[in-house]
A and B are shown apart, each in its own frame.
Chain A
Amino acid sequence: MKQYDIVIIGGGPAGLAAAVAAYDAGVTGILILERDKELGGILNQCIHNGFGLHTFKEELTGPEYAQRFADKVRERDIEYKLNTMVLEISRDKVVTAVNREDGLVDIQAKAVILTMGCRERSRGALNIPGFRPAGVYSAGTAQQLVNIEGYLPGREVVILGSGDIGLIMARRMTLEGAKVKAVAELMPYSGGLKRNIVQCLDDFGIPLLLSHTVVDIHGKERVTGVTIAEVDDNLKPIPGTEEFYSCDTLLLSCGLLPENELSRAMGVEINRATNGPVVNESLETSIPGVFAAGNVLHVHDLVDYVSEEAGAAGRAAAEYVRSGGQESGGQEISVNVEGGPRYTVPCTIHPHKVGETLTLRFRVGSVMKDRFVSVYLDDERVTHRKRQVMAPGEMEEVKLTRAMFDKHPDLRHITLRVEEA
């Protein structure tokens, strides 16, 4: 059986950044397994710009951003396999994968980093009633068709959901000559970034219908239209508000789901709020030596944060390998959330293992204005920062430092609190 120090499941932005960071931390026996035909993951189909402002201080397209990291991987001679599907990971870190050249193989890893990304919520998962004709696509599938394959999925488009991919595709389809008639959003606020609302909808005169949803899909062979209705405070369609939109295409951008089938099957504990693994400060899951980062851990809004997080996971995995697979040990404290955040990543912390800085990432459950984001170590408020607006569509973060923890040798409680003044 082939043996590696670290096997990384997925060669998207998270996997690549984790590999580079682990390598730079001194562990070189690394293998990246990627199911697609090239490295870079979903970035390859994100040909719009806006990537890399934090990481590279310049504005890149998705493929350019991916290329930067793919180059780093190649410069370091980190091994990777493309067109390779991981079928199973055992608790003792035997990775079973399959591809055309090697067939079905087992690979023994000392540490595993889960970076499988996420998938889109499908029409079925949304349970939208109606016919099942051709012409209903997830926004990401349409993006792949247009940007990778060069095919146009439709000419008259309605988009359900205002997630970022849907907003980007509203603009993209418009530029390709399609007519985007409306973007309907179930919630009273957008699920995407503010800048995308402005640049992808407002600039093209595409209406955003907040508190609206698709209640029926028409057309037996190909979509001929959809019925959109307004929803009430309980998100239920209001009778009498139905309006028919003629279209040949319905794109869905209604949220992303971390792809944790492999994680679940190997017994990794999953956080119900994120649908990603429960991780500690080292981004280590409930199975020692198995780490997670990027959209498989929790859905991010900016790839820069994915890279940053995955770098931390890579360094932690390297440390795990170097220490000979020592378990964390010591006291582990759960991070409590109060006043609005739905979760934090990480959700538990071993205070003695906190490095120079520790980033707590979270999302709020509803739009909140003029609040303070505070972290309490026991009763001491160690950070207190004003946020004018926080929305569920945007990820928030707060940085903690080693020094803060050093002042609390007997720490018992860590609390992230969103509070008014």
Chain B
Amino acid sequence: MYDVIIVGGGVIGCAVARYLSRYQARVCVIEREEDVCAGTSKANSGLIHAGFDAPHGSLMAQYNVEGSKMMPELAKELDIPFRRNGALVLCLNEEDKPRLEALYENGVKNGVEGLELIGPDRIHELEPNITDDVVAALYAPTAGVVCPFIMTIALAENANANGVEFKRNTEVKAIFPRAEGGWAVQTANGVLDAKCLVNAAGVYSDVFHNMVSSKKIHITPRRGDYCLLDHAAADLVERTVFQVPGKLGKGVLITPTVHGNIIVGPTAVSIEDREGVNTTAAGLSELLSKAGTTVKQLPTNQIITSFAGLRAHEDGHEFMIGEVEDAPGFFNCAGIESPGLSSAPAIGKAVAELLRDKLELEERSDFIPTRKGILDPKTLSREERNALIKEQPAYGQIICRCENVTEGEIIDAIRRPLGARSLDGVKRRVRAGMGRCQSGFCSPRVIEILARELGVDQSEITKSGGKSKYIVGTTKNRY
């Protein structure tokens, strides 16, 4: 019997696990996919919003502002790539100015620090490539960018180092109350029991909620298409640039990533399919034309990939956090759409504290608050790097040419606890295959390393688990 089972290994589930791991408790995270960070957490804008957008008084506003304030320390503790690059919300015509001002007022009420309304001259001083049509902007210096993959993986690794179990490749089929109290979780690999449950199942969080509560909720997957641009386009903008928001989310934005690419997106299309992460021609063309109005010229020839993510939009457009009234011990983290990533640390902490109070958990004396990331030799001095290569020659072997990722980093990504098992798992941890050739050159090498490290045949290696086999057999005369 676990004290707590967390359903879903996205950023929210992993954040709850991490903050819960400071208490003495038996905790398990169950994830359907072969890796953490495989759903909504892997396909979003990678932003830590300043918090001016969510309506004042909402949980979204509260957790966003708090999460944003927690981020610098968390990034330091867990070695997460995070940078406060600031954000601009552009107003392209005079009629929209009142909405921009309302946004400013809302941000001030939310407690966002450093907000400023600025004019075209200052805007162009900050961002010379912004369209000349701009009439005003809201400047939020505390907005930031984060690597959503590493953020989720770091939270998971740190939770794991503090004793939290992770069951990957384990799909939850049903949840029901146990006669003797607590909850039973039926998975594809057997039944697990826990005193308390955390529902952090993203676009499926309504499904699990509705299994246990008579007060039904409804999640709509809201798809957003994105394009990713090569490092060569990095000079386009330094800050995250929005336009004054519309009804369906914050509109199409342009932002640098923490790794020096540019992301353009997302669209916002409500769909039925909770697995519908396909991009569409209409979506891609819509986002490029909208982003085209933000900057003087969008370098579309630098697009290296496109992808789509799903936001878990609840009908009430508000986070649903906490114990469900008619299901004691069942804690929701439902309806987590933007600013979900930004709010994750605050939600994780808040839910962990609710569980602490519910289960009367004691603090652990041996809690490890820090986690060391995968060593990137590019961050070392020449002398340090050469010493490392001498000791571990794999750090001298470049595997991914576009991102200059070494074999040493890939081995670390695979061998560490909760390590990578697939091409995408390696990619999200060390960026091999994330560059301009999109793994054309390095994928056969990465497969070879994965097979060697995992002790399986290369034909077993997948792109992202399940049936996503990379090769289907051997050639006729292979021996």
Contact partners of B382 in chain A: CB under 8 A: 104
Q: Once bound together, how far apart are the Cα atoms of A176 and B307, in whole Å?
A: 32
Does A134 lie within 8 Å of B227, measured CB to CB? no
Q: A156 CB to closest chain B CB, in angstroms?
A: 10
Q: Once bound together, how far apart are the Cα atoms of A39 and B389, in whole Å?
A: 23
Q: Once bound together, how far apart are the Cα atoms of A313 and B473, in whole Å?
A: 43
Q: B235 CB to closest chain A CB, in angstroms?
A: 13
Check if A101 is an interface residue, CB within 8 A of chain B.
Answer: yes
Check if A124 is an interface residue, CB within 8 A of chain B.
Answer: yes
Known: A150-B475, A152-B475, A248-B472. A127 touches B462 (CB 8 A): no
Closest-by-CB residue of A relative to B408 is: A100
Check if A98 is an interface residue, CB within 8 A of chain B.
Answer: yes
Contact partners of B436 in chain A: CB under 8 A: 119, 122, 125, 261
Check if B159 is an interface residue, CB within 8 A of chain A.
Answer: no
Check if A211 is an interface residue, CB within 8 A of chain B.
Answer: no
Contact partners of A103 in chain B: CB under 8 A: 385-386, 389-390, 396
Q: B460 CB to closest chain A CB, in angstroms?
A: 12
Size class of the A contact interface (CB-based, 8 Å): 35 or more
Q: Contacting B470 at CB < 8 Å: which of A123, A134, A146?
A: A134
Does A123 lie within 8 Å of B279, measured CB to CB? no
Closest-by-CB residue of B relative to A98 is: B396
Closest-by-CB residue of B relative to A155 is: B472
- Residue among B437, B467, B478 facing the most chain A CB atoms (10 A cut-off): B437
Check if B284 is an interface residue, CB within 8 A of chain A.
Answer: yes
Does B475 lie within 8 Å of A85, measured CB to CB? no
Q: Once bound together, how far apart are the Cα atoms of A99 and B275, in whole Å?
A: 42
Closest-by-CB residue of A relative to B479 is: A150
Does B444 lie within 8 Å of A124, measured CB to CB? no
Closest-by-CB residue of B relative to A133 is: B468
Check if B232 is an interface residue, CB within 8 A of chain A.
Answer: yes
Closest-by-CB residue of A relative to B277 is: A131
Closest-by-CB residue of A relative to B303 is: A127
Check if A221 is an interface residue, CB within 8 A of chain B.
Answer: yes
For residues 430 through 479 of chain B, which have their beta carbon under 8 Å from a beta carbon of chain A? Answer: 436-441, 443-444, 448, 458-459, 462-464, 466-478
Q: Once bound together, how far apart are the Cα atoms of A155 and B306, in whole Å?
A: 26
Contact partners of B385 in chain A: CB under 8 A: 103-104
Check if A145 is an interface residue, CB within 8 A of chain B.
Answer: yes
Closest-by-CB residue of A relative to B275 is: A220
Check if A203 is an interface residue, CB within 8 A of chain B.
Answer: no
Does A154 lie within 8 Å of B305, measured CB to CB? no
Does B401 lie within 8 Å of A222, measured CB to CB? no
Check if B92 is an interface residue, CB within 8 A of chain A.
Answer: no
For residues 306 through 364 of chain A, which have their beta carbon under 8 Å from a beta carbon of chain B? Answer: none
Q: A126 CB to closest chain B CB, in angstroms?
A: 9
For residues 139 through 176 of chain B, which have their beta carbon under 8 Å from a beta carbon of chain A? Answer: none
Q: Once bound together, how far apart are the Cα atoms of A264 and B232, in whole Å?
A: 10
Check if B62 is an interface residue, CB within 8 A of chain A.
Answer: no
28 A-B contact pairs sorted by A residue (CB < 8 Å): A35-B401, A83-B397, A85-B404, A98-B398, A99-B397, A100-B396, A101-B396, A103-B396, A104-B389, A119-B440, A122-B304, A122-B437, A123-B305, A124-B228, A124-B438, A129-B283, A130-B279, A131-B277, A134-B470, A138-B440, A141-B439, A145-B444, A153-B472, A220-B275, A237-B281, A261-B232, A261-B402, A264-B232
Chain B residues close to A by CB (< 8 Å): 227-228, 232, 275, 277-281, 283-284, 303-307, 382, 385-386, 389-390, 393-394, 396-398, 401-402, 404, 436-441, 443-444, 448, 458-459, 462-464, 466-478
Chain A residues close to B by CB (< 8 Å): 35, 83, 85, 87, 98-104, 119-120, 122-125, 127, 129-134, 137-138, 140-141, 144-146, 148-155, 176-177, 215-217, 220-222, 237, 248, 261, 264
Known: A123-B305, A125-B304. 8 other contacts (CB 8 A): A85-B398, A98-B396, A104-B396, A122-B437, A134-B462, A134-B469, A221-B466, A222-B467
